[in-house]
Amino acid sequence: MGFEVVDGYLLGRDVAKADVVAALLVSRSDLPAAAPFYRALEAVGARAADEAFIALRLVLAGHAPGDDAVRRLRAYAQLARASATDDPSAVDAVRRRERAELGSLADLPASSKAERADLHRAVVSAYAGTLADGATGERNAQRDSLR
């Protein structure tokens, strides 16, 4: 399903956006709710907003791509990227800006490199946990891809 590539991109691995689009289009899900996302990705390609990837991930995990869930996963992705690059100022900026969406993750220590690595693991776990609560069998594949 291209989970590894999209999750890697969203969580701060060095993955090009064009590779995310290509992976998603090559290994499409048969879920009817995913079809509009694939059509949109075909139309806009790498210009797709990260929110489109997030909404598609929610659909593939058996969730409705509601605004609250997309905002929460977007906040997780932003914090994961900042902590993955070990950028203290970016971590602090995301935590201030997205405090409501991040919940207790916003309060984890991040002063040292080791604390930012711990924060990254916690964010990845929260991201995976959010997706793992879905209702489809595909959730097991995406959960395994995050480990």
**pLDDT tens digits, 94-139:** 999 999 999 999 999 999 999 999 999 999 999 999 998 654 434 4
CB 65 within 8 A of CB 75: no
pLDDT, greater one: 14 or 137: 14
Neighbouring C-alpha atoms within 13 Å toward the C-beta of 147 = 7
